Chain A
Amino acid sequence: MTEPVAPPESIAVPPAFVSVENASLYYGADSDVLALQDTSFSIARGEFVAVVGPSGCGKSTLLKLISGLSLPTAGRVIVDGQEVRKPLKNIGMAFQNPALLPWRTTIDNLLLPLQVVRPHRHEFGRKRRQYVDHARALLAKVGLEGVDDRFPWQLSGGMQQRVSLCRSLIHDPQILLLDEPFGALDAFTREELWDTLQALWEEQKFTVLLVTHDLTEAVYLADKVLVMSRRPGRVTYSAKIDLPRPRNEDTRFTPAFVEHVRDLRRHIGHARSTP
């Protein structure tokens, strides 16, 4: 094996926290569906990266690779200096479907990761009060107060998605993986949640990979946007978004922002028309 060639501007780039190196992945009983082909990219610690691309190009698959839920058929994934060979144990995930447990109240849904993840699971009995306070504080940050004892079906879709977001963050995950978490929400709720997520990220600077089909969302939230080609997917373009933070509604109407979106759209169009 040869060492991966460092990009020329590596002096300026912070060391990679997550790095995907020439990863390919086949699906299907006979491994005949090539979902990802020879994909490479990296994410720095605390970086906010968004992935966009045509439907079915392997975006969700990419998240599975990074979390170790799937292993690459060829190439490798490295997280924090270690090659990923089995599922990582401290990841936060949220999806388009909030996937809350309907028999648990909001608070108990939030406590789920702490009952599972090490070392918290062993301290859960002792530290329950402390964990509950932590969960309450997190709920307050996303604008959810007084719903602690409600069940998921007593919450609106937007509220459920907020709870789901909190659940993905409560245990201080190594990496946050978001798969179109705002895809099913109405425009206003979605924009509200962008700001919620941005504020949480500004405060805690976790490492995020956000899959989305909304270019505005990608540019608004991310430091870097990756564009994938249609299946078999690979990262064909990477755009650095250097807009000042915190970004707000006005940012979305600045010429620089619009230019970024237009640039991505061009590359997506390109990705869709060429295999």
Chain B
Amino acid sequence: MKIRRALFIASPWITTLSFFLLWEAGCRLFNVPSFVLPAPSAALEALIQYWPGIWVNALQTFLTTLVGFVIAVVFGVALGVAVGASAVLYRALNPLLIGFNSIPKVAVVPILVLWFGIGTVPAIITAFLVAFFPISVNVATGIATMEPELEDVMRSLGASRLDILYRVGLPRSLPYFFASLKIAITLAFVGAVISETVASNQGIGYLMLSASSTFRVPLVFAALLVIAAMGICMYAVAAWFERRHTKWTIRSTEHSRFAVGG
């Protein structure tokens, strides 16, 4: 029993480690040239060699993501509350929102460049654009799925719509909100990196692109590893934040863990 439990806890480490070992073994066994697929050891070597350049760019991407994410949270919550609390707004905005969300955000980057030039601003805006939607949808869902009985109880106590929103709607939407943060932060990061690869001269996305155009493939993979690691870290922070702030959802069954992706 004890061993199974230990295995359970260690399982993410075991799978990750096995993944890299297999990758390494594959590359060596079949003598894959490093300009096609570098072994993880080669990527690691590149990571160490180019570290000064990598971390500056990684920091740039991180800050870009963070700014875009914060704007997305503010805007996303405001929109989500408005749409969740008002059936009229929901109906009025629904087609626009769905249409907007269907547009691949990569397609928007060139327009942003046209407006703001190459650099950090388009990356921030892209991060914001991809991240606010899941936040809005989740907050709105949390508010709008209030049990009708509760609404009746509140209204027959003389509660105004604002009272109901404040006492029931908002607290009830919190777990949805926190769940959406995990998705939103990852999306913001992806948005920032994409925008950097298309239209920037700094950031990890740009680094990756310039490395691949000069065939420094191990560096490309080093950048990919950094991106993956950063993604995991941001997700983990958001998940920790979620656990800390909404203890009650872990047990109350029906409404929780239904974060809607964007």
Contacts and interface: CB of A to CB of B under 8 A. Distances in A.
Nearest to B146: A99
Interface string B123-164: 000000000000000000000000101101111111100010
B158 A99 contact: no
Interface string A110-138: 00110111100000000000000000000
B167 interface: yes
B150 A99 contact: yes
Contacts of B152: 64, 67, 69, 93, 95
Contacts of B154: 116
Contacts of A112: 167
A93 B155 CA distance: 10
A153 B157 contact: no
B19 interface: no
A42 interface: no
A103 B142 CA distance: 14
Nearest to A60: B152
A224 interface: no
B149 A87 contact: no
B20 interface: no
B251 A116 contact: no
B168 interface: yes
A102 B147 contact: no
A260 interface: no
Secondary structure of the B side of the interface? helix
Interface in A220-235: none
B153 A93 contact: yes
Counting chain B CB atoms within 10 Å of each CB, which of A112, A151, A152, A171 scores highest? A112
A151 B248 contact: yes
Given A69-B156, A87-B158, A97 B149 contact: yes
Contacts of A153: 248, 251-253
Give the size category of A's interface with B. Answer: 20 to 34
Given A101-B171, A112-B167, A153-B251, A90 B157 contact: yes
A152 B252 contact: yes
Interface in A128-172: 151-154, 167-168, 171
A117 B157 contact: yes
Nearest to A102: B252
A208 interface: no
Contacts of A68: 156
A118 B158 contact: yes
A97 B147 contact: yes
B156 A102 contact: no
B171 A99 contact: no
A171 B172 CA distance: 23
Contacts of B249: 102
A183 to B, nearest CB: 13
A258 interface: no
Given A116-B163, A151-B248, A153-B251, A101 B168 contact: yes
A87 B171 contact: no
B148 to A, nearest CB: 9
Contacts of A116: 154, 157-159, 163, 167
A25 interface: no
Contacts of B147: 97, 99
A256 interface: no
Contacts of A97: 147, 149
Given A101-B171, A116-B163, A95 B156 contact: no
A247 interface: no
A122 to B, nearest CB: 12
Contacts of B158: 87-90, 116-118
B193 to A, nearest CB: 36
B167 A103 contact: no
A214 to B, nearest CB: 20
Interface in A156-207: 167-168, 171, 177
Contacts of A167: 153
Interface of A: 64, 67-69, 87-93, 95, 97, 99, 101-103, 112-113, 115-118, 151-154, 167-168, 171, 177
Given A87-B155, A87-B158, 8 more contacts: A88-B156, A90-B158, A93-B149, A112-B167, A116-B159, A151-B248, A153-B252, A171-B157
Closest 5 CB pairs of A and B: A89-B158, A91-B156, A102-B252, A99-B149, A116-B157
